[in-house]
Amino acid sequence: MWKRWRNVTAVILLVSLLLLAPVDARPEYMKDFKEYSDSIKKCTLCHVQSSGYGGLNSFGADYAKLGKGERLLTKDSDGDGYTNQQELSSGTFPGDPDSKPGKEAPGMEVLAALFAIYLAMLIVRKI
């Protein structure tokens, strides 16, 4: 019985950590985007890697060069046919040509939670 509780507790902790793992981008930069959806307030708004390390994506480079202003918002940084303003307003990433208004994909949080549930089912079956 103890082993079962230990496994269930471990799975619950894992799922909780996976759901809490997404972090917000640096607040000092996000203040420029406070009127937009929280879904874009991640490192990948400006960076090529979700960790925030690595280089800037095309939007990040334009933001560093132009700051937040009319020139940045009317530009199409990723060349996908939508202005940065359109993408920010729709909650998509203006530095990712695959992220476009109207094209929603499940986030990594959802996929991680589904994987954790699958693992929990496997563990419970073995008990």
Indicate the SS3 state at residue 60.
Answer: helix
Domain carrying residue 83: 2-126
Q: Which helix (H) or strand (E) holds 114?
A: helix 108-126
Tokens of 121: 């089912």
Whether 104 has a pLDDT exceeding 60, the answer reads no
pTM check: above 0.85 = no
Count how many domains the chain has. 1
Round the average pLDDT of the chain to a whole number and report it: 82
Whether 22 has a pLDDT exceeding 70, the answer reads no
Number of residues written out for the chain: 127
Q: Mean pLDDT over residues 37-66, rounded?
A: 89
CB atoms within 10 A of CB 60: 20
Closest-CA residue to 63 (of 97, 101, 40, 33): 33
